[in-house]
Amino acid sequence: MEEYGNPHKSRVILYAAFAILGLAICFTFVISVIALGIGGKAYALADDNGNSNNNIPSPVVTSLSSTPPSGYYALGSTVVSGWKTNYAPLTFARSDHQAVTLADGIYVMGGTGSNGEGATPTTNVVEMYTPSTDTWTTKAPLQQSRYRFAASVIANKIYVTGGRIQDDLTALSSLEVYDPTTNTWTYKSPLPFGISDHTSFAINGILYVVGGYDGDYSNILNTTFAYDPSKDSWMQVGSINVARGDLVGVAYNGKGYLTGGWGYPDYSLVTVLEEFDPNSNTWIIKEGTTPDRGGDRGYEVLNGRFIVVGGEGEENSNSKPLQAVELYDIKTGLWTPGSPIPYPILRTGCSVWDTTSTTTTTTTTLYCFGGQECPGGFNTACLLDGPAVDVVTVAAYAEHTVYSYAPLS
């Protein structure tokens, strides 16, 4: 598969090297080098704004360790990030699917087959990706083929809710739970009514299902439903401030967060971020607006930040897949741009995987699977709700903090 580099940078950052000769230390700052990798593969590095890190003063030593070498002091640090795409592709093209992480791998499930928009059969196929071996394993299929659904993990089990079937006019209310120890899916108590294009997350063992559309897209929902696995029961626990579908949501540090989507009065873009407190079952609008990136984005929590990937934008009344990556720092409440994904994409499914590269360093990598492009290719626009083309591409994004050190004398 073709390997893509970040379009905003043309060089790989190189490690500063130094040689120790007897008692004299001679430092040679070659060209700034850092050869980091995702799963053992090198990739181009940049800061969160996509800029190459070529301005480290010389002579210096750069390292992934936060502890200065003997005889050095700390100059500072920078976060470098990058994407790679030379991974084993999906076994078939799909979009409007979901990807979640269990202990043994990343599970990719459901979605549509080749050009989306209800024009091709929905699928119930479930496959597990193993990052360490870059391989795919077929797992038990969903009992119901579906797309535009939500999936979350509680106690190493997958909870799939709602979605749509082939006719695109029927929203599902069913809940399926996957147990990896038995490789089986089991139906549980359904939602009160059919919902699609919603989001879900889990807090303290409770599943929350938020927003979305009803069966014929006539109503944009503001509902929040909570499912208790120990009781196999649902209850409505509150309403979001802005009804929206095609939204994305995550849980972090005991609270829920959602962003994006399309809402009232005319399916317009929603640009507010909301925070959910499960203790009071209330939603509040956070200060500031979310990036103007529409819906249908890949999303996850990465290193304490809410990351959103690609999505659906508009160009001359046409729909256009996006390349942008944004990160919301949950502690500071600030959005910053990340390194763009190498190709514009919407309706992709993303999940994170932790890889321990040393006894002290753990790399958290975001993997994004499949999605949609327009028929003319990655850089074209297509009619709103018109045909789009599903893809098999797998892309991975990782961040590292790189520390710079200078000699004391």
Domains and CATH numbers, the chain: 17-83+399-407 (no CATH), 86-396 (2.120.10.80)
Residue 15 is predicted with a pLDDT of 29
Alpha carbon of residue 216 to chain centroid: 28
Tens digits of pLDDT across the chain (409 residues): 333 333 333 323 322 332 332 323 232 222 233 333 333 333 333 333 434 444 444 578 888 788 888 889 899 888 788 999 999 999 999 999 999 999 999 999 999 875 444 446 899 999 999 999 999 999 999 999 999 999 999 999 999 999 998 777 889 999 999 999 999 999 999 999 999 999 999 999 999 999 999 988 889 999 999 999 999 999 999 999 999 999 999 999 999 999 988 887 778 888 889 999 999 999 999 976 677 666 778 999 998 899 999 988 776 666 778 888 999 998 888 998 989 998 889 899 999 998 765 555 567 899 999 998 877 666 555 654 556 678 899 999 988 788 899 988 7
* Residues facing 37 on adjacent strands: 42
Residue 320 is predicted with a pLDDT of 75
Please, are residues 142 and 165 in contact by the beta-carbon 8 Å criterion?
A: no
- Beta-strand relationship, 255-259 and 262-263: unpaired
Alpha-carbon distances of 39 from 104, 229, 272, 354, 386, rounded to whole Å:
16, 35, 36, 10, 37
Residue 4 is predicted with a pLDDT of 30
Q: Which position has the token pair 């147990």?
A: 179
Determine phi and psi for 75, rounding to 5 degrees: -90, -35
Alpha-carbon distance of 151 to 299, in angstroms, equals 12
- The answer to whether the Cα torsion of 241, 246, 248, 249 is positive or negative is positive
Residue 358 is predicted with a pLDDT of 54
Q: Is 96 left (phi over 0), alpha (psi -120 to 50) or beta?
A: left
Alpha-carbon distance of 53 to 366, in angstroms, equals 22
Residue 381 is predicted with a pLDDT of 58
